[in-house]
């Protein structure tokens, strides 16, 4: 199949292009090379193999999309603005890139009669992860309050009795509850895409990524995730600064496993029922704490030891880890890169 990959010069998109080619598919790379994400556009452009067609254009440009979509069987939509979206001044830009961009893309796909889509979504659409109370069973704690965070009470309490909760693995049927601007734009992308699928009898797989790391991960930019931040600190001889108490749980999943999930999802869209819209969690299935990540990176890079700062970021969720069972059972995907191997490669200078 010929797949148009948006955001193809980015961290995840460039790996998706490689995985598509490895699986015997054809890719068309589409990327605006926005300066905030690509401070060195030529280097980003060079991530795309020379024999892959490259279109430098924005997903909000219907004419460029219309031309690029000719002869395309499926779209893999990775282009997006990531981060937390805490500053409301950034909200128009997030909504513009992520939601207007997706709406323009979907309209162009409908016009060009391209019926298959894999969409990069995120675990952040769930808000907090899954929690169980010994007394009240499954509960949904609200956003953490500043007074609790400031006092070092990082675990969300049971909303009924205030007792400590046990975190669990979220599945795709959990309620969508986005809690910051970025998360809201990701949830809106999913709703737009499922509406498109219903209206056009197309099929969309929505891939809810966990915390992705690996080669080409953005660093020293506002888009840097915690693994890249810790690595930069350690390379500069400074300790990684672990926020909260370091006990917050995430699922660190390797970018090559994310790319493989995209290929499996795109192949599924060719067999799915007309109008199908299905969400899939994409994570390694093994939760880690941020403290554990810091310790592993510090040890791999020969120190210094991490410092637990007690700082917190408003809008951060405490734990977000989800089951990857649907992806494994329905799409036959398996994570191939272990945490140990992935981190060992991650600390080797590129």
**Nearest to ligand UD1 of 16, 124 (CB atom):** 124
For CA atoms 88, 92, 97, 101, the dihedral sign is positive
Cα–Cα separations (whole angstroms), residue 153 to 22, 133, 148, 320: 47, 17, 5, 17
Single out the residue of 204, 211, 291, 205 nearest to residue 255, CA to CA. Answer: 211
Backbone angles phi, psi at 124, to 5 degrees: -65, -15
129 and 249 in contact (C-beta within 8 Å)? yes
> Cα separation of 17 and 8, whole Å?
7
H/E stretch holding 308 reads strand 307-308
**Nearest to ligand UD1 of 115, 246 (CB atom):** 246
> Cα separation of 248 and 8, whole Å?
31
**Residue span binding ligand UD1 (CB under 6 A) among the ranges 26-34, 143-151, 235-243, 323-331:** 235-243
- Binder of ligand UD1 out of 48, 74, 76, 82 (CB under 6 A): 82
How are strands ordered across the β-sheet holding 74-77? 53-56, 26-31, 2-6, 74-77, 116-122, 203-209, 277-282
Residues 284-303 that bind ligand UD1 (CB under 6 A): 290
Quick note: the x/- pattern for ligand UD1 over 139-178, rule CB under 6 A, is ----------------------------------------
- Binder of ligand UD1 out of 136, 219, 241, 325 (CB under 6 A): 241
313 and 84 in contact (C-beta within 8 Å)? yes
> Cα separation of 153 and 35, whole Å?
39
Q: Does 225 bind ligand UD1 (CB under 6 A)?
A: yes
**Residue span binding ligand UD1 (CB under 6 A) among the ranges 48-56, 117-125, 153-161, 256-264:** 117-125
Q: Does 321 bind ligand UD1 (CB under 6 A)?
A: no
- Binder of ligand UD1 out of 38, 144, 231, 250 (CB under 6 A): 250
Q: How far is the CB of 231 from ligand UD1 (least distance, A)?
A: 11
**Nearest to ligand UD1 of 12, 272 (CB atom):** 12
**Nearest to ligand UD1 of 96, 310 (CB atom):** 310
Interface positions with ligand UD1 (CB under 6 A): 82-83, 122-124, 209-211, 223, 225-226, 229, 241-243, 248, 250, 290, 313, 316, 320
């Amino acid at each position: 199949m010929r797949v148009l990959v948006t955001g193809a010069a980015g961290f995840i998109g460039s790996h998706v292009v490689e995985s598509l080619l490895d699986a015997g598919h054809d890719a068309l790379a589409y990327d605006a090379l926005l300066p905030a994400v690509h401070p060195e556009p030529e280097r980003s452009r060079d991530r795309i193999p020379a024999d892959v067609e490259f279109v430098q254009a924005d997903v909000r440009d219907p004419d460029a999309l219309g031309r690029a979509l000719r002869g395309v069987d499926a779209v893999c939509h990775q282009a997006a603005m990531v981060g937390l979206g805490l500053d409301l001044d950034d909200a128009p830009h997030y909504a513009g890139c992520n939601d207007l961009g997706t709406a323009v893309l979907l309209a162009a796909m409908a016009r060009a009669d391209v019926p298959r889509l894999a969409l990069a979504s995120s675990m952040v659409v769930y808000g907090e992860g899954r929690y169980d109370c010994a007394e009240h069973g499954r509960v949904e704690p609200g956003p953490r309050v500043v007074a609790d965070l400031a006092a070092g009470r990082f675990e969300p309490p049971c909303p009924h009795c205030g007792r400590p909760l046990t975190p669990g693995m979220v599945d795709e049927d959990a309620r969508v509850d986005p809690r910051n601007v970025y998360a809201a734009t990701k949830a809106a992308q999913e709703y737009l895409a499922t509406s498109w699928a219903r209206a056009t009898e197309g099929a969309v797989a929505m891939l809810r990524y966990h915390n992705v790391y690996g080669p080409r991960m953005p660093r020293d930019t506002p888009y840097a995730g915690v693994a890249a931040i810790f690595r930069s600190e350690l390379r500069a001889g400074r300790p990684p600064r672990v926020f909260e108490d370091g006990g917050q749980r995430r699922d660190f999943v390797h970018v090559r496993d994310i790319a493989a999930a995209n290929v499996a999802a795109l192949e599924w869209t060719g067999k799915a029922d007309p109008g199908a819209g299905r969400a899939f969690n994409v994570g390694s299935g093994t939760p880690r704490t941020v403290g554990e990540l810091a310790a592993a990176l510090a040890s791999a890079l020969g120190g210094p030891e991490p410092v637990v700062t007690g700082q917190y970021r408003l809008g951060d969720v405490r734990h977000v880890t989800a089951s990857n069972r649907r992806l494994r059972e329905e799409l036959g995907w398996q994570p191939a890169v272990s945490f140990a191997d992935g981190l060992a490669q991650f600390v080797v200078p590129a």
